[in-house]
A and B are shown apart, each in its own frame.
Chain A
Amino acid sequence: DVKVTQSSRYLVKRTGEKVFLECVQDMDHENMFWYRQDPGLGLRLIYFSYDVKMKEKGDIPEGYSVSREKKERFSLILESASTNQTSMYLCASSLLEVHNEQFFGPGTRLTVL
């Protein structure tokens, strides 16, 4: 079974702090993704990566950056956390082809005070 793990299930940070969210997948997938999920808005794509050191902006990249130094690991960085970044963050991975399903991690609920 594909496994996507995220470093924390719950995280509480203060405004202005730098925040790192880590995601690891164990199935050698090329694609990795970061989404945020907010009620009524579904999932919105922040960034994705289709190869090591490659990244593409999604729909809402502002205030976020990403890092992919190894194929299995994809990090989401909030350089200076703000209260409007309080959300559920979901990581996913998939094989390269467009019709392949994405496998999701359990999510990290981030609260910024």
Chain B
Amino acid sequence: AQSVTQLDSHVSVSEGTPVLLRCNYSSSYSPSLFWYVQHPNKGLQLLLKYTSAATLVKGINGFEAEFKKSETSFHLTKPSAHMSDAAEYFCVVSERVNAGNMLTFGGGTRLMVKP
């Protein structure tokens, strides 16, 4: 069985400072990993995904994440936060189940950006 733990339920940063959102996972197989973002009253949007190619994955809006198998981590980073980054972020692991695939979501991290 797979699981995802997002280590912080809330993160607050100042505009222009770095962002770090932490995620640890467990999976029986080589996982596919994703980060999704949800802005207030909007649908979930894919930020980036890891699918066993390069361990450092670049996504939209300047975000990136590094897959570290030894640490079972997939932390999300951004060098400089912008006000528009304020949202909820979900770390997700995907596993094949029968002929389909199943996603398991972390509990979410709400990012607040102060001016």
Contacts and interface: CB of A to CB of B under 8 A. Distances in A.
A101 B97 contact: no
Nearest to B9: A40
A42 B88 CA distance: 10
B46 to A, nearest CB: 5
A2 B44 CA distance: 13
B108 A98 contact: no
Q: Which of A40, A90, A92, A99 has the most CB of B within 10 A?
A: A99
A64 interface: no
B115 interface: no
Interface residues of A, number: 32
B46 A101 contact: yes
A49 interface: yes
Contacts of A105: 43
B77 interface: no
Interface of B: 6, 9, 32, 34, 42-44, 46, 49, 51, 90, 94-108
Contacts of B90: 42-43
Interface of A: 30-31, 33, 35, 40-45, 48-51, 54, 56, 58-59, 90, 92, 94, 96-102, 104-107
26 contacts: A31-B101, A33-B103, A40-B9, A40-B107, A42-B105, A42-B107, A42-B108, A43-B44, A44-B105, A45-B102, A48-B102, A51-B99, A56-B102, A59-B104, A92-B44, A94-B101, A96-B99, A96-B101, A98-B32, A98-B94, A99-B94, A100-B101, A101-B46, A104-B43, A104-B44, A106-B42
A31 B101 CA distance: 8
A56 B104 contact: no
Closest 9 CB pairs of A and B: A50-B100, A99-B51, A42-B105, A98-B101, A43-B105, A104-B44, A99-B32, A42-B107, A101-B46
